[in-house]
Structure 1
């Protein structure tokens, strides 16, 4: 068996469907939730409605409050204000065991002295389910994530991917109303993380179980989520589908956080329907006067001959990525990154122009708020 075969989960659809039929997924709601630690406020009036069966990702930088929000749903932290609902039940003051949710942690949180079977069975054991029921449930769930041959092993005898599958199986066996996942793939290597993303998305689709997933990785958010909630400094910045967040960002933070390579930002001035900055002047389809920032993604730009295009600069670097290259140009005291074919042959230091897709440019005011389109392009 190859390394890839041993690490890749091949989910049994029939078993997952059978498991799914045995439980009822529920919605999860946070209503005006706030949280303070001493004098520090980490969540500001957070309201989210996660539909039954939805995969919602909480996305943001470290310290933005996303894990705190997840722990409040789980009952591991108490909200300073606001309420948490699972289905129609207010669980704000319920103990974690009474909330009908299962949490998967970044660190796997497996019992090192218990076998894989015992780790998966633990939620049923503490609920004093009949032994025959426990045995049948554990074996069925283990088979769904390809763990049957490993049931007698201890966690230290498993790879990182196998340990994460044990943690997932332990959550599934409870048949909860919702899964709560705190960066469950972050301890895996990049290759295995990609495989586990695909299998996790498929598994959640087949189970149809409500899932709230925390990550700082925009790739995980974009590939896994039905909807993404972007947080910054404890406040919700945007809640929408991955496609809408990418193509229609609400503000400067969201625009810069989503996308790899990130969106280009050029500081300048809007006046009389034009945006001007050193090395750049173009018509702007917005009504705004004063300082502003123009945003355009690298894939919406093209390097052209000097004196052509809307932007003028000099090539600072050329990076071959594989199927494409990234060209960085100095534009005055600012820089623009352009995604180009891997056959690009421009020389560092050479003058060049940049053409931008004017249907895919964004403008933001001095506060970072999006300036919405108000007039047509001339």
Structure 2
């Protein structure tokens, strides 16, 4: 079922936390709202759920305008960061609760709960209480409780943030597989770019209540719409150099190089992803600098160089053993250079 946000805004007094957000979630799509704390992503989710009122605009789910419809009548299921399980109820009863309050037949409840429990690997734990479960198991109970309703849409507010790193990786894979199997439109809120890039069909990046870019993870990474997106996506983030552009040739304090552009501008920012750069001998490459630090990550080494007033990070071979202070060059292909207008932050090329 399609979910449409039509220029929705939200203000608390004089503070506008969400500004004319418009987007459409397609049937079966996994859309991630990504942003830092205070960007408006959770507010947007709560507005879709009906837990926050809409200051302006409208929300449409399927063919219904649900802007002023009560949460219980919107046919959406929400999964919270805090699990929100009933401690006095068993796993079975927690999962069954949405069906029980709708007074579904006992045979239907029994069958539905056991079917969903098998999907999330909880079928052997149905008689336990939440206090007897691990964090990952509790999160799966919360997911199962949402799934058992077979709603029109799933709304998920950072459901994996309380889990340790290893379990988060496992649950990401489980969640993506379950959503694919169910084919239900899902809106997922997170501040974690790895979750966004690995889970989403499309990502909507918010900053201070404004939509910065809406696109596939690959397009957001390879063609960020502005400097904010370029710096927010990627770990380590994109290297940025301030300089000028003359018919496609970029010049800065530590060197000059050609780009894929033919434009000119006096105040331009060039961006290079760490994996697109390479270390070269002193006097070669496009930028001159010296090694500031190196960090062995495992399968590669992150080498940070001081190039004039800028810091440039390059992914080098895992066997790299350059010394701090060593003079080096940094090279790259013209096609990998991203160009942005310094004044507006918007992408040039």
Alignment partner of 1:184 out of 155, 159, 162: 159
Tell me how far apart the structure 2 counterparts of residues 199 and 146 of structure 1 sit (CA, whole Å). Answer: 10
- In the TM superposition, residue 269 of structure 1 has moved relative to its aligned partner by 2.0
User: Equivalent residue for 1:9?
Assistant: none
Match of 1:249 in 2: 224
Partner of 1:349: 325
Aligned equivalent of 1:111 = 86
Distance 1:289 1:49 in 2: 36
In structure 2, the partner of 1:80 is: 55
Correspondence list, 1:10-25, <5 A = none
- Residue 337 of structure 1 pairs with residue 313 of structure 2: yes
Q: Is the 8 A contact 2:40 2:206 kept in 1?
A: yes
- Equivalent-residue separation in structure 2 for 1:288 and 1:189 (angstroms): 48
Give the root-mean-square deviation of aligned CA atoms. 1.0
Structure 1 CA distance for aligned equivalents of residues 255 and 15 of structure 2: 42
1:102 and 2:77 are equivalent in the alignment? yes
Match of 2:37 in 1: 62
Asked if structure 2 preserves the Cα contact closer than 8 Å seen for 1:300 and 1:356, the reply is: yes
Counterpart for residue 91 of structure 1: 66
Q: CA deviation at 1:134?
A: 1.2
Q: Distance in 1 between matches of 2:21 and 2:248?
A: 37
Instruction: Extract structure 1 runs of 4+ deviating beyond 3 A.
Output: none
Deviation at 1:152, TM superposition (A): 1.3
Name structure 1 gaps, 5 residues minimum. 1-25, 373-378
Distance across 1 between alignment mates of 2:264 and 2:105: 69
Within-5 A mapping of 1:149-298: 149-284=124-259, 285-298=261-274
The alignment partner of 1:282 has SS state of strand
TM superposition shift of 1:333: 1.7
Do 2:130 and 2:138's aligned partners in 1 also have CA atoms closer than 8 Å? Answer: yes
Q: 1:120 and 2:95 equivalent? A: yes
Shift of 1:279: 0.8
Following the alignment from structure 2 to structure 1, what is the Cα–Cα distance between the partners of residues 287 and 276? 13
CA distance in 1, matches of 2:338, 2:267: 14
Q: How many Å apart are 1:148 and its aligned residue?
A: 1.5
| In the alignment, structure 1 residue 148 sits paired with structure 2 residue 161 | no
1:323 aligned to which of 299, 313, 316: 299
Structure-2 change in CA distance of 1:288 and 1:79 (3 Å): farther
**1:274 offset after TM fit, Å?**
2.5
Write the distance in 2 (CA, Å) between the matches of 1:252 and 1:343: 32
Q: Under a length normalisation based on structure 2, what TM-score does the superposition of the two structures give?
A: 0.98
Contact 1:327 1:338 in 2 (8 A): yes
Deviations 1:319-360, CA, capped at 9 Å, x for gaps = 100000000000112110000111112111010000022111
Q: Within 2, Cα distance between the matches of 1:278 and 1:185? A: 44
Are the counterparts in 1 of residues 247 and 262 from structure 2 also a CA contact under 8 Å? no
1:37 — aligned with what?
12
Aligned to 1:368: 345
Q: Distance in 2 between matches of 1:288 and 1:152?
A: 69
1:286–1:371 Cα contact (<8 Å) kept:
no
> Given that residues 302 and 316 in structure 2 are in contact (C-alpha distance below 8 angstroms), is that contact kept between their aligned partners in structure 1?
yes
Shift of 1:283: 2.6
Shift of 1:149: 1.5
Deviations 1:60-87 (A, max 9, x none): 1111000000000000001100000111
Q: CA deviation at 1:272?
A: 4.5
